[in-house]
């Protein structure tokens, strides 16, 4: 769909101007490459999120000295300081920020400035109360927190333009400002007010042109929901007795994502015009489903994201952060990225969030970011706040500024990364395998999960984690991504498909790729309407199976038999497969469909398609599945990596830079595939690499 979207709304009557945005998947021609700070022969940023406005000015110099000693060349500042930068409407004060920049710059520290729109000042709410979003029950949010503005509100958009323009004009030529972060973690809340409803109606009109087309696409014949004017179209109020049409609900998710993109683009256009030499980014949220990041990132120069691995219950489970890194990288066609908020201490608001990790682990997590393609690491935050909601969200330093163990770990990493930067420069993660993430399928399955236990992201992890246990690098692809370089593609629960995506997967397989499809694939068309073809719909021919029966919710214990003569517990759902041309790889072990096919493989063109009709609780099942796929796809597997140790690599010009990361409290031994030397010391390492608890080793041939 052509990306044309609403730019301004005026008042409750909903008069909208339309503006052109980049067509989905196309890069805006003015987007600059990721190119930040020169550092010892490479380019890398290393630093922290810093809030000088919250500390006495006498502290700034001491902070800058400590930053320099920790190897910092970078801070992010300003993203919550609107009230300080525009204390009264139209009156700007940047003098304090100029002074802070001067102190930092004199210690070699440069900045990305955040536009402060995530936290509008009290006077703006007082003057324009409707800038706050309305929830689906019709209650307007009020002033007192942050991130509750309505993305469609004309007064808020006008105020946004004013502050962003004032900042850009003031800092466009400042040598200490290398770029901009737009807003902070955009994507919510959804707004259900009359202006937003009119905006949604305008979006629908732009998409469908005629009401006949919309009524047909959404199947509004159901319950007689046929619309005769655009103004009749409701919002998906999922309150007590209101359960929205899933087609309307999916379009509302797309609308919300497009509105977020349009709002970010309003800021990006101002910055690009006024400050063309400075780069533009946003701090994204990894697996957050509320925004189609692939789409959003057409408007940004490089990807930055906020990485908080500390929320894992078991710190050795590195794959949660790993998948988020890889998704973020994939959302900008695998261009390297940076971390704008890297865990610098315990997280928590009213309560401290969990048990404290050993300080050494913060260094390992920072290296994990680099291993997955980060060319910059910025910790959240320099020092824990004395004030406000986040007093329990730790920075590197605590309120007393003591050189604690986290500071020492961060400083050690700073020293080392400064040494590694020329080696890292120009290197990238190169993966033979990709996971396909479909924002449409993710949204549609949130709207109708089918079974209570259904989790799209868990299915991603089932396969992703298995690849990572063998040391295989994994990319995340989006429907618009180029798939031609991959040997294996896993497309779990590809629930919603359109013709171009179906054609793309057919081409991928026919040209020689190995595709893994799982249950609930090919069920819906792009309007979230169920196909009238036999499942798996558009993939039935590729998979060589037909599905005439399925068993949701598994009332009985179910198991899978096969794949190396083991049995594995099944969960969530069972598709009962009738092979047409496929060969059976595993069968169900129990119930009335015992002996029926559960997993199949099919030759299609030069490629292979696996169809996995269920999900297993056993990681072993996925180890076996990906070993099968790796054999077909001709991908090498290293099965000897000990649990809790991650091996990831970046490559440039035939050189492989290998990161071995031990997230566990035990010393481990990792057998290497060839002789390497330690990239920091230059000394050769044993091919049985000994890696102490909570340590990282970087290797080059
Ligand atoms: C009730 C209603 C039907 C249908 C079913 C299933 O019986 O009368 O219209 O909605 O529930 O939900
Ligand atoms: C997010 C925000 C930060 C901060 C942290 C911790 O990442 O971007 O401003 O609030 O969470 O809560």
- Three-state SS for 103-128 is HHHCCCCEEEEECCCCCCCHHHHHHC
Give catalytic status of residue 185 as yes or no.
yes
**CA 313 to CA 184: how far, in whole Å?**
26
| Residue 371 token pair | 């291993």
Please tell me the total number of residues recorded for the chain in this structure.
Answer: 701
Q: What is the per-residue pLDDT across 258-311, written as a single tens digit (0 to 9) for each?
A: 999 999 999 999 999 999 999 999 999 999 999 999 999 999 999 999 999 988
Across 420-443, average pLDDT:
96
307 lines ligand 2 (CB under 6 A): no
- Concatenating the DSSP letter of every residue in 421-490 gives HHHHTT-B---SEEEE--HHHHHHHHH--SSTT--HHHHHHHHHHHHHHTT--EEEE-TTS--TT-SEEE
- pLDDT above 90 as % of the chain: 88
283-284 vs 304-307, strand pairing mode = parallel
Of 186, 187, 305, 306, the one to substitute when testing ligand 2's pocket (max ligand atoms within 8 A of C-beta) is 306
682: left (phi over 0), alpha (psi -120 to 50) or beta: left
Distance from Cα 223 to the centre of ligand 1, integer Å: 11
| Residue 221 token pair | 């014949």
| Residue 659 token pair | 């990161």
Q: How much is the pLDDT for 673? A: 86
Name the closest ligand to CA 345: 2
Q: How much is the pLDDT for 35? A: 61
7 or 539, which is more confident? 539
Name the closest ligand to CA 223: 1
> How sure is the predictor about 315, in pLDDT bands with cuts at 50, 70 and 90?
confident
* CA dihedral sign, ordered 482, 484, 486, 489: positive
How far CA 626 is from CA of 152, 359, 569, 576, 688, in Å, comes to: 45, 35, 17, 21, 25
**CA 259 to CA 134: how far, in whole Å?**
15
Catalytic one of 79, 341, 416, 601? 341
Strand partners, 379: 48, 342
448, burial (CB in 10 Å: exposed 0-12, middle 13-18, buried 19+)? middle
Q: How much is the pLDDT for 143? A: 94
183 lines ligand 2 (CB under 6 A): no
- Concatenating the DSSP letter of every residue in 492-530 gives TT--B--HHHHHHHHHHHHTT-EEEEESS-S-B-TTS-B
DSSP symbol at 539: G
Residue 663 CB neighbour total at 10 angstroms: 26
Name the closest ligand to CA 385: 2
Distance from Cα 451 to the centre of ligand 1, integer Å: 19
**CA 22 to CA 26: how far, in whole Å?**
6
Across 224-248, average pLDDT:
91
Q: How much is the pLDDT for 238? A: 80
147 lines ligand 2 (CB under 6 A): no
Collapsing DSSP states into helix, strand and coil, what is residue 304?
Answer: strand
Q: Which of 631, 564, 49 is nearest to 308 (CA)?
A: 49
Q: What is the per-residue pLDDT across 642-679, written as a single tens digit (0 to 9) for each?
A: 999 999 999 999 999 999 999 999 999 999 989 999 99
Q: How much is the pLDDT for 539? A: 98
440 lines ligand 2 (CB under 6 A): no
Q: What is the per-residue pLDDT across 528-566, written as a single tens digit (0 to 9) for each?
A: 999 999 999 999 999 999 999 999 977 678 999 998 878
Q: What is the per-residue pLDDT across 319-339, written as a single tens digit (0 to 9) for each?
A: 999 999 999 999 999 999 999
Distance from Cα 264 to the centre of ligand 1, integer Å: 43
341 lines ligand 2 (CB under 6 A): yes
**CA 558 to CA 340: how far, in whole Å?**
44
Q: How much is the pLDDT for 314? A: 86
In the predicted structure, residue 21 carries a pLDDT above the cut 70: no
Distance from Cα 246 to the centre of ligand 1, integer Å: 17
Q: How many CA atoms lie within 13 A of 32 on its CB side?
A: 17
- pLDDT above 70 as % of the chain: 95
pTM to 2 decimals?
Answer: 0.95
> How sure is the predictor about 353, in pLDDT bands with cuts at 50, 70 and 90?
confident
Give catalytic status of residue 685 as yes or no.
no
Average pLDDT value for the chain: 93
**CA 165 to CA 175: how far, in whole Å?**
18
């Amino acid at each position: 769909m052509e990306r044309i979207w609403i730019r301004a709304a005026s008042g409750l009557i909903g008069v909208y101007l339309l503006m052109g945005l980049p067509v989905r998947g196309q890069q805006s021609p003015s987007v600059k490459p990721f190119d930040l700070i020169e550092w010892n022969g490479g380019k890398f940023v290393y630093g922290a999120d810093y809030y000088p406005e919250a500390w006495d000015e006498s502290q700034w110099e001491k902070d800058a000295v400590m930053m320099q000693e920790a190897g910092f060349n970078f801070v992010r500042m300003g993203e919550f300081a609107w009230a300080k930068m525009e204390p009264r409407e139209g009156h700007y004060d940047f003098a304090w920020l100029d002074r802070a920049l001067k102190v930092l710059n004199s210690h070699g520290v440069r900045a990305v400035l955040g536009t402060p729109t995530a936290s509008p000042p009290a006077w703006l709410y007082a003057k324009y109360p409707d800038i706050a979003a309305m929830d689906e029950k019709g209650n307007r949010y009020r002033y007192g927190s942050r991130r509750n503005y309505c993305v469609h509100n004309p007064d808020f958009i006008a105020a946004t333009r004013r502050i962003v323009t004032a900042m850009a004009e003031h800092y466009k030529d400042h040598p200490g400002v290398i770029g901009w972060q737009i807003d902070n973690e955009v994507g919510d809340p959804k707004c259900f007010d009359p202006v937003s409803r009119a905006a949604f109606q305008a979006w629908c009109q732009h998409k469908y042109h005629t009401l006949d087309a919309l009524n047909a696409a959404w199947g509004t014949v159901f319950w007689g929901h046929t619309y005769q004017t655009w103004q009749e179209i409701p919002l998906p109020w999922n309150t007590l007795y209101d359960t929205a049409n899933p087609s309307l609900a999916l379009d509302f998710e797309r609308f919300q994502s497009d509105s977020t993109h349009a709002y970010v683009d309003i800021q990006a256009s101002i910055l690009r015009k006024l400050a063309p030499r400075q780069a533009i980014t946003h701090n994204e949220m990894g697996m957050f489903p509320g925004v189609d990041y692939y789409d959003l990132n057409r408007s940004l120069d490089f990807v930055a994201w906020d990485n908080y691995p500390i929320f894992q219950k078991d710190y050795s489970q590195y794959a949660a952060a790993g998948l988020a890194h890889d998704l973020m990288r994939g959302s900008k066609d695998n261009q390297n990225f940076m971390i704008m908020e890297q865990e610098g201490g315990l997280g928590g608001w009213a309560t401290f969030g969990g048990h404290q990790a050993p300080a050494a682990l913060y260094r390992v997590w920072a290296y994990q970011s680099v291993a997955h393609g980060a060319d910059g690491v910025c910790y959240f935050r320099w020092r824990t706040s004395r004030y406000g909601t986040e007093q329990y969200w730790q920075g590197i330093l605590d309120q007393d500024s003591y050189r604690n163990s986290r500071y020492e770990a961060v400083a050690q990493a700073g020293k080392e990364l400064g040494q590694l930067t020329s080696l890292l420069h120009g290197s990238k993660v190169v993966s033979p395998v990709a996971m396909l993430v479909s924002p449409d399928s993710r949204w549609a399955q949130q709207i109708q999960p089918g079974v209570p236990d259904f989790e799209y992201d868990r299915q991603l992890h089932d396969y992703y984690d298995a690849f990572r246990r063998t040391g295989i690098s994994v990319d995340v692809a989006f429907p618009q991504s180029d798939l031609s370089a991959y040997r294996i593609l896993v497309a779990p629960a590809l629930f919603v498909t359109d013709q171009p995506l179906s054609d793309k997967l057919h081409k991928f397989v026919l040209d020689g790729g190995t595709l893994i499809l799982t249950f609930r694939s090919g069920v819906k068309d792009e309007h979230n309407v169920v196909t009238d073809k036999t499942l798996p719909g558009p993939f039935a021919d590729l998979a060589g199976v037909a599905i005439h029966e399925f068993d949701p919710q598994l009332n009985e214990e179910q198991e899978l038999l096969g794949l190396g003569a083991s049995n594995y517990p099944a969960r969530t759902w069972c598709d009962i497969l009738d092979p047409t041309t496929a060969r059976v790889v595993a069968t169900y072990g129990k119930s009335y469909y015992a002996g029926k096919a559960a997993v199949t493989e099919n030759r299609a063109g030069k490629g292979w398609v696996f169809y996995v009709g269920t999900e297993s609780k056993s990681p072993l099942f996925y180890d076996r599945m990906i070993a099968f796929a790796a054999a077909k796809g001709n991908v090498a597997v290293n099965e000897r990596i000990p649990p809790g140790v991650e091996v990831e690599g970046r490559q440039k010009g035939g050189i492989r830079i290998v990161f071995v990361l031990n997230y566990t409290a035990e010393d481990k031994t990792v057998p290497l595939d060839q002789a390497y030397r330690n990239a920091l010391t230059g000394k050769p390492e044993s091919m049985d690499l000994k890696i102490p608890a909570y340590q990282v080793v970087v290797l080059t041939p």
